[in-house]
Structure 1
Amino acid sequence: MVTKQSQRLGIFLALALVMAATRMHHFEGHFDRLPDASWAVFFLAGFWLRGSVRWAFPILMALAVALDYLAIRNLGLSFWDHYCVSVAYWFLVPSYFALWMGGSWLSRHYAGLTLKTLAFGAAALLVSEGVCYLLSNGSFYWLSDSVPAPRSFGAWFKNLGDWYMTFLVGTAAYAAVGAVLHVVVTQLARVLGHAGEQGLRR
């Protein structure tokens, strides 16, 4: 989506900063602060940084793990002693990659600021967020020792329903902010480019 390497780096740093600013306090139990933007960050990164997956995704993934580690250590716990951390934790890699691929798919089909693009964006976000949620929630429910036995599909489906809207609304809100910023920057670049062309003609 973005072609200049300097722009890609700037976008990457901005997304990394947003994730750093919103992720740590959720592991520390401060749910009254801004919601964790990590899911939206990976979706927007897939959209804006499509083609940079080989370096951008691993670094963002490493940053997410590092932030979790720091937050858990700040609680005085070892990393593997936290409620949210188990063998299921590593399912975050395919979970977040699903979000990246959703954004990347949208980028490939992006055709300007149209209603069709908006519909594609909503579909890409819903599908990729749904896959991410199934992978992350399912792996935690079935593999984590934090979930008491006996486990059942009925209880899992209830758990899916209990948390789904919370994750969807938070991710969609951040993605909407990203979409607005994209529109503003795109329109501003168009206006400035047009003004530059007029100046050259004179």
Structure 2
Amino acid sequence: MATTQTQRLGIFAALALVMAVTRLHHFDALPDASMAVFFLAGFWLRGSGRWAFPLLMALAVLVDFLVITGAGLDFWSHYCVSAAYWFLLPAYGALWLGGSWLARHQLGLRLPTLGLAAVVLLVSESASYLVSNGSFYWLSASVPAPRSFAAWFVNLGDWYLPFLLTTAEYVALGAVLHVATALLARTLRQAGARPLSH
């Protein structure tokens, strides 16, 4: 939704910072905001996907690398890094596409936009979760054999709601910032359009 390249770069930098800070401390009190960052980036940076999406992906991998190797572990043998790790690309892509689709179809600062945003977020979060969780369950050596669809559904259920809630909380915070910024910009435009009284 940013209109100038400077605005886009500023938004990108802020989102990258949020992702880096929360991803560095993935299991601390501040949950990882990566999923929400990709959704919000798709919304705010629609049309900049050729550079913004790959840079955010590279940042996510870099942070993971720094955290894992910083703990004295080998990146490629860590339990989170397997063939499934590559599926983060479509998982994050689903969130980016959801945010981008919402930006194209939103109706401005109106109540129907809020309902549309909730539905689009739920669909893109669910698709992202299905890809990330499913790929980890079926492809990672960290999941003991034998594997079954019944066990996978239990695993899906264990993490689905926390995943949805964490992402939704961050997106809600982004939405509040978006509305506040839009209202401030509108107020400043209206104030600038009024003639000065003497």
Shorter-chain TM range is over 0.9
Q: How far, CA to CA, are the matches of 2:110 and 2:85 in structure 1?
A: 38
Report deviation, 1:32.
3.3
TM-score of the pair, normalised by structure 1: 0.96
Which residue of 28, 45, 54 maps to 1:58?
54
Paired amino acid for 1:7: Q
Q: How far, CA to CA, are the matches of 2:34 and 2:191 in structure 1?
A: 37
Asked if the contact 2:42/2:98 (under 8 Å) is kept, the reply is yes
Are residue 45 (structure 1) and residue 41 (structure 2) matched?
yes
Paired amino acid for 2:188: L
Distance 1:112 1:82, change over 3 A: same
CA displacement, residues 116-163 of structure 1 (integer Å, 9 cap, x when unaligned): 100110011000000000000000000000000000000000000000
Which residue does 1:166 correspond to in 2?
162
Which residue does 1:90 correspond to in 2?
86
Note the residue ranges of structure 1 that are not aligned, 5 or more in a row.
Answer: none
Paired amino acid for 1:14: A
Note the residue ranges of structure 2 that are not aligned, 5 or more in a row.
Answer: none
Which residue of 73, 76, 97 maps to 2:69?
73
CA displacement, residues 44-79 of structure 1 (integer Å, 9 cap, x when unaligned): 000000000000000000000000000000110111
Percent identity reads 70
Paired amino acid for 1:24: L
Report deviation, 1:2.
1.5
Q: 1:1-202 counterparts in 2 under 5 A?
A: 1-26=1-26, 31-199=27-195
Asked if the contact 2:68/2:78 (under 8 Å) is kept, the reply is yes
**Which runs of at least 4 in structure 1 moved beyond 6 Å after TM superposition?**
none
Q: CA RMSD in A?
A: 1.2
Report deviation, 1:199.
4.2
Paired amino acid for 1:23: R
Q: Secondary structure at the match of 1:148?
A: coil
**Number of positions where the alignment pairs a residue of Structure 1 with one of Structure 2:** 198
CA displacement, residues 149-190 of structure 1 (integer Å, 9 cap, x when unaligned): 000000000000000011100000000000000000000000
